[in-house]
Amino acid sequence: MTFNVLKYSLIVGTFALVLGCGAYSFTGISLSANTKTFQVNYFQNTAALIEPGIERDFTLALQDLILNQTNLDLVKSNGDIVYEGEIVEYRIAPTTATSSNTAAQNQLTISVNVRFFDKNDEDAEFEKRFSFFYNYEGSAQLIGAQKTTAIEEIYERITQDVVNASLANW
């Protein structure tokens, strides 16, 4: 008899906990009920050092992250929320030197200026610069797979920062 009472109590407690947390998102994303669509306009590359294709890759990375972390539909125009901006920095610089005055380590830095618009919450709108970096050996050249890895890691961080700044209520 006490086993059935304990079992019943656990089931009821579990349902209460799950239903009580129904509006919570484990990603921390909080959207108004009226927000159904999003739009990511093409991010132009205005950096002094031009790396071909990074603007397309950033635009797609941001779209993919929002698709994976929300239930919003991607649209080409008239989105409930809109992202736009430009890549404003693509820079490679030495970060540490060896005793023979050569670079022991280099750093790739990418910065993106983002403008965020929300038709349902104008107070949430912003224009902000997001930046991240990738360090690599000074004797290595940033080409091929290493360059791809560097850009992917930087974009993973920047896009998550953009989503957190625009959609997460922490």
pLDDT in tens, 1-48: 555 555 555 555 544 444 344 333 445 687 888 999 999 999 999 999
**For domain 30-167, which CATH number applies: 1.10.150.240, 3.30.160.150, 3.40.50.80, 3.40.50.1110?**
3.30.160.150
The distance from CA 4 to its chain's CA centroid, rounded to whole angstroms, is 48
pLDDT in tens, 118-160: 999 999 999 999 999 999 988 888 889 999 999 999 999 999 9
What integer is the mean pLDDT of 74-89? 98
Tell me if the pTM is above 0.95.
no
Q: Which of 129, 130, 132 is nearest to 150 (CA)?
A: 132
What pLDDT score was predicted for residue 32?
Answer: 83
